[in-house]
Structure 1
């Protein structure tokens, strides 16, 4: 992952985007329905050779291990560099983790079942992260999971496992890489400075057309993703040398997105596909807001908060327990993001063998348990004119106005008087008893009398949903 600005571009269906990029959309193609704004919850998956290194610290997340090895400035954080030297020695190159990335216990069907049980409507898998290691077969490079490491098409197996489910399937792709001979940043031994091989690399003279676009066209042609999620697009220097791309650079992303949209629209049964706002292209379907401590705001166009459960996106044996969000925190974040017209893309980082740690899967299962009761206020919902008042969130869905207090009130809930509740409205607690709750309008607002105890099998720390209808 890397930080990026927020696009203001509006969401368009595949056919509309195709028109923007100079393509012709037929009426049938224009009828493709964008599914994304209704989905609300997806699972992000960071998995790769860094999962075998499985180590990060307060300064660098585990999936940045390759870059963090090269940071020499203590102010920028040398914890990974020091850890690597002590644990593996100066002559152990990052690429020696590739054979240790085995996927030997990878069961894509169990992943899919977990995502479904979590209530997710889509997932996004890292097909290539910043270390340049690809989880799919392609003709541009041998630095992939079929030629090296697991000896398996990890993307293909997960997409096949999800093919007959309701899950939409997405692929993350890092446009640039930490180090690559094709970008003028050949990898070096962090301790001696000597140039070292880039395992599986096939020399190219044009990184974009002979490598990056070949990868992306392979992903489009062979896996037909519903989302393309770009990252690693900008020039950066964080103490371990310049990364991702030269300062002056053109990813020629309009070309690849035109190819993507044309592929989706030009078929007997067109489908809606989307691309995020990190392609440095003339179009994006949704904006991405990454990481914690963001001040989310209500936006008119679809956007996505991509969040991690802990500090690292890739699996981290050194994860600080204090940094791991609880299920309650995650559900509160989901309610806040959805009230502001966003989707939550929640990340997990499987181990190198393909297993998912219990502290990750248990949180996903808690999300699913909560959504099975309260999902009618989340899926397909739309925002009200205000997203929140204090810690009270609002959504509109299925003919109901939904109130989601992030903390269970003590006996009564006071709601601002201008919310769309009228004399005909009946207010019920989702997952609780079916009788309407008593409420009165006062000079201070609307006062709703609540049950003394929760009746939906959740503790009082979990958000509840009050649904107001006129029927």
Structure 2
């Protein structure tokens, strides 16, 4: 009897130990999370917005990747002064009425005939990226992987290729970490105007593409843009559609499948599962993904060595994953690594649109330095054409960014924030006419990073001063007695400096041949001194 009791106690003990080595599907457990060192070391990754929406490539009053939403949207049904109406009118004029040519009818036109995964991975390496995140599916729920859960995928239709699988293999062969991007939680709402206005979403044959949400709306008769009168559905309040159980279960099943098939090191989620109905499924996936990484030997409980990106509370619980800011970021140094996701395009647009200008490379570099000085990571999105090639100006940006990182990368990769992130000029972070922050540096802008050993400080000047002099005001009282050397990376000549109550005045050498930001490397005999 005693042996039996001891045996039972041992089994209970072993079960208890095992339970502590795995995550459970609740926030308290999931908050036992530490982001991977490889991720915090990487600093920059590339990703893409690419899919069926790349075919019409029309942004109208909003964004090209939202074409499938706005093509079904009637006058008065979208926010921001009928932002979706331009797409609806364009679709009627170019492709015909949505009841005759639906979003599904673009799929055969998305062929990706010139897509080359090796070339994409090579561009990432040349651009200085350390990880690549592939679009798995946008809000339209057309899967770019070989899913067994829906016929609406790039293997059965369109390209007839496993685009995610090809990129996973190519990226890893180039030494890149590989991530996937999943926006499908909002699929139930993305096509709400298709459901509300009773277009092709009412056909059950298409529900795996368009979703089958619970529609809560009432019918009214209104006068249309062309003078005809037609009965359409107008929502009486926000929440005109809600996710059905099928929509939420479908999301969880596909999300798990994508993780199982390609073992991504990073899993990016857009917003879309904010409503409380999603809570248990988010927790289920978090535990599932982290535990799979542990079972695969990637990491351990507390540090599974993989990344989940989420966009703020209540999308995910703080500390249970890596917070992401769309086109934004932290104002100061964070306690935990975080991420900015941004695009080479400005405004709201992320998908390919011919002739749309991209941001200057200089702005991207300045933004990168600001982000990493505050313990962030930049995931920069590009927009390929529907055939799978990148516009030349986007490739040029990659080359320019990579050239700068080849010279100045030691001030970027594997660094950590200093005790202050830097000094900010008067133009930094001002908003443009679309409400987005502009990263415009002046000759007052400087950002700090340091090596992990805390013996080398990098002070990166974001704009070259016309007189060759730069003042670091925060270092007016810094003890520089153990300063071993000071030089500008990639520049010839010495830096002369003079410390006063106003700050540390630097007389810089001749401007180096490279463009953009200019890191000054300060090597100390011991630990980097405090700014006091």
> TM-score under structure 2 normalisation?
0.74
Distance 2:322 2:297 in 1: 26
- State yes or no: 1:313 paired with 2:315: no
Q: Deviations over 1:400-428 (max 9, x none)?
A: 11111111022111112257560342211
Matched, 1:407 2:463: yes
In structure 2, what is the equivalent of residue 336 of structure 1? 370
1:265-280 maps to which residues of 2 (within 5 A)?
265-268=294-297, 270=299, 272-278=305-311, 280=315
2:111, 2:159 within 8 Å by CA — same for their partners in 1?
Answer: yes
The structure whose Rg is larger is 2
Q: Take 2:391 and 2:501, find their aligned partners in 1: how far apart are those partners?
A: 51
1:429 corresponds in structure 2 to 488
Query: Higher relative CO (CA 8 A, sep ≥ 6), structure 1 or 2?
Result: 1
| CA distance, structure 2, for counterparts of residue 255 and residue 17 of structure 1 | 16
Structure 2: gaps (5+ residues): 1-18, 213-243, 425-444, 526-532
Q: Is the 8 A contact 2:136 2:143 kept in 1?
A: yes
| Per-residue deviation, residues 101-148 of structure 1 (Å, max 9, x unmatched) | 101000000000000111111111110100110001122211110111
Shift of 1:20: 6.5
Q: CA deviation at 1:382?
A: 1.2
Aligned to 2:93, the other structure's residue is in SS state: helix
Aligned residues of 2:25 and 2:280 also touching (Cα < 8 A)? no
8 Å CA contact 2:342, 2:381 repeated in 1 = yes
8 Å contact kept, 1:131–1:179: no
Richer in helix (by share): 2
Instruction: State the 1:448 CA deviation.
Output: 1.1
Give me the whole-angstrom Cα distance separating, in 1, the residues matched to 2:207 and 2:503.
66
Describe the SS at the equivalent of 1:289: strand
SS at match of 2:159: coil
User: What's the secondary structure of 1:276's corresponding residue?
Assistant: strand
- Return the alpha-carbon distance in structure 2 between the equivalents of residues 436 and 198 of structure 1: 71
Residues 326-349 of structure 1, C-alpha deviations (whole Å, 9 max, x = no match): 011111111111111111111101
Task: Count how many residue pairs are aligned between Structure 1 and Structure 2.
Answer: 431
Shift in Å, 1:80: 1.2
Q: Deviations over 1:357-411 (max 9, x none)?
A: 1111111111111111111111111112221212111111263111111110221
User: Which of 65, 69, 72 matches 1:67?
Assistant: 69
Residue 265 of structure 2 is matched in structure 1 by: 226
Q: Is the 8 A contact 2:144 2:154 kept in 1?
A: yes
Q: Provide the residue aligned with 1:449 in structure 2.
A: 507
One of 115, 136, 152 as aligned partner of 2:161? 152
Supply the RMSD in Å over aligned alpha carbons.
3.2
Q: Map 1:3-402; keep pairs closer than 5 Å.
A: 18-19=22-23, 21=25, 34-57=37-60, 59-71=61-73, 72-73=75-76, 75-77=81-83, 78-90=85-97, 91-179=100-188, 185=192, 187-188=194-195, 195-196=202-203, 199=206, 201=208, 206-207=245-246, 210-234=249-273, 248-250=277-279, 252-268=281-297, 270=299, 272-278=305-311, 280-282=315-317, 284-291=320-327, 296-311=331-346, 312-317=349-354, 319=356, 321=357, 324-390=358-424, 391-397=445-451, 399-402=455-458
- Structure 1, residues 31-78: CA drift from partner, whole Å, max 9, x if none? 995321111101121111011111103x31110111122332271312
Contact kept, 8 Å, 1:141 with 1:211, in 2: the verdict is: no
Distance 1:400 1:143 in 2: 52
Instruction: Give the C-alpha shift of residue 199 in structure 1.
Output: 4.2
Question: Is this contact kept in 2: 1:428–1:467, CA < 8 A?
Answer: yes
Q: Is the 8 A contact 2:201 2:207 kept in 1?
A: no
Any conservation in 2 of the 1:139–1:214 contact (CA below 8 Å)? no
Return the offset for 1:276.
1.4
Deviations 1:411-450 (A, max 9, x none): 11111225756034221111112x5412121231111111
- Give the whole-Å Cα distance in 1 for the aligned partners of 2:407 and 2:252: 43
